[in-house]
């Protein structure tokens, strides 16, 4: 590993609570932060050589790592954040924060990313799960995506080849590792763009518990309904397991009130699923990815 990456970007027994927005999770056996695609590929080769499972993360905003940690290599994309503008076309690294891209687009008077202003993830994570909010989705502005496939080859996908669906994509289905993406944006008026971003950010602040650690929406939206409505109608807001709580502000947010463990969140999620199913006959599915060992 030392010959593949500078030692300061390789850590051992790194607490994943430092790298997830829920602020829970045991240690990663090996934690790597590459700064280039070449370093990313080198780390993957090391993992393959030593037969290590690999978990690729961005901002850790849609992730719950169990208390036993992750036995293998965790690859963080956060330093893969290069951004190159060419008028309304922008190419970015997978680790660039989505909010950063949205604000840079606004400054250049390009529209199409207003919905993303408050989404707390990276470009790679957003594409992987086709993130969206307030009527917008990342699939609406993606032009091309570059990824590393299971054979270690860099592949390019056009927007039509990405297989976007509700909170999914071909990258999630095939476990391809996103490296870079290109977006196509339209020229707009700065006042309108900034006004819409401010409006959506105000909505988020009013309706979401942004002051507490969370993973964003914890459950997927069931067909024809909303997870938050079902959880609220089941009378579960304020329900706690250890330091984890169903938010009293937004029922589809499970928040860390302090000192929560991954087990607290999993126990609370199980309670929510069982109670909602018992009352409405709808079995909620977690949107948050759960990894690691108990």
Q: Which CATH number belongs to the domain containing residue 45 in this structure?
A: 3.30.43.10
User: Could you give phi then psi for residue 56, rounded to 5 degrees?
Assistant: -100, 125
Q: Which CATH number belongs to the domain containing residue 268 in this structure?
A: 3.90.78.10
Asked whether residue 222 is domain-assigned, the answer is no
- The single residue of 39, 61, 114, 167 carrying the catalytic annotation is 167
Q: Last residue of a domain, which of 53, 76, 99?
A: 76
Q: How far from 258 is each of 223, 248, 261, 262, CA to CA, in Å?
A: 33, 16, 9, 12
203 and 106 share a domain? yes
pLDDT tens for residues 256-280? 999 999 999 999 999 999 999 999 9
pLDDT tens for residues 111-157? 999 999 888 889 999 999 999 888 899 999 999 999 998 888 999 99
- Residue 214 annotated as catalytic: no
263 and 162 share a domain? no
The tally of domains found in the chain comes to: 3
- Residue 167 annotated as catalytic: yes
- Beta-sheet pairing, 10-15 with 27-32: antiparallel
3-state secondary structure of 103: helix
- The single residue of 17, 169, 217, 247 carrying the catalytic annotation is 217
pLDDT tens for residues 211-259? 999 999 999 999 999 999 999 999 999 999 999 999 999 999 999 999 9
Asked whether residue 197 is domain-assigned, the answer is yes
| Structural domain range at position 134 | 83-207
- pTM for the full model? 0.90
List of residues 6+ apart from 189 with CB closer than 8 A? 109
114 and 169 share a domain? yes
- Beta-sheet pairing, 89-93 with 177-184: antiparallel
66 and 102 share a domain? no
Tokens 């500078």 sit at which residue?
6
The crossing angle, in degrees rounded to 10, of helices 190-207 and 98-107 is: 150
Q: Which CATH number belongs to the domain containing residue 147 in this structure?
A: 3.30.465.10
60 and 37 share a domain? yes
């Amino acid at each position: 590993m030392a010959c593949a990456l500078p030692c300061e970007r390789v850590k051992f027994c790194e607490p994943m609570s430092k790298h997830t927005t829920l602020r829970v999770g045991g240690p990663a056996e090996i934690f790597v932060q590459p700064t280039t695609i070449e370093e990313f590929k080198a780390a993957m080769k090391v993992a393959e050589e030593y037969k290590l499972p690999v978990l690729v993360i961005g901002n850790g905003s849609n992730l719950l790592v169990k208390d036993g940690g992750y036995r293998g290599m965790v690859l963080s994309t956060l330093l893969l954040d290069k951004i190159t503008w060419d008028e309304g076309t922008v190419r970015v690294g997978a680790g660039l924060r989505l909010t950063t891209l949205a604000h840079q687009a606004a400054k250049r008077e390009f529209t199409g990313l207003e919905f993303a202003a408050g989404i707390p993830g990276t470009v790679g994570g957003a594409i992987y799960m086709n993130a969206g909010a307030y009527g917008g989705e990342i699939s609406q502005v993606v032009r091309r995506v570059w990824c590393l496939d299971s054979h270690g080859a860099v592949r390019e996908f056009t927007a039509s080849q990405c297989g976007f669906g509700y909170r999914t994509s071909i990258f999630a289905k095939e476990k391809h590792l996103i490296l870079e993406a290109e977006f196509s944006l339209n020229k707009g008026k700065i006042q309108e763009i900034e006004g819409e971003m401010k409006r959506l950010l105000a909505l988020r602040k009013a309706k979401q518990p942004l002051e507490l650690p969370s993973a964003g929406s914890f459950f997927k939206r069931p067909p024809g309904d909303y997870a938050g409505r079902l959880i609220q109608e089941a009378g579960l807001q304020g329900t706690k397991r250890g330091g984890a709580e169903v938010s009293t502000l937004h029922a589809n947010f499970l928040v860390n009130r302090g000192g929560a463990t991954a087990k607290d969140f999993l126990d609370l999620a199980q309670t929510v699923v069982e109670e909602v199913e018992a009352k409405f006959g709808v079995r909620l599915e977690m949107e948050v990815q759960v990894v690691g060992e108990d």
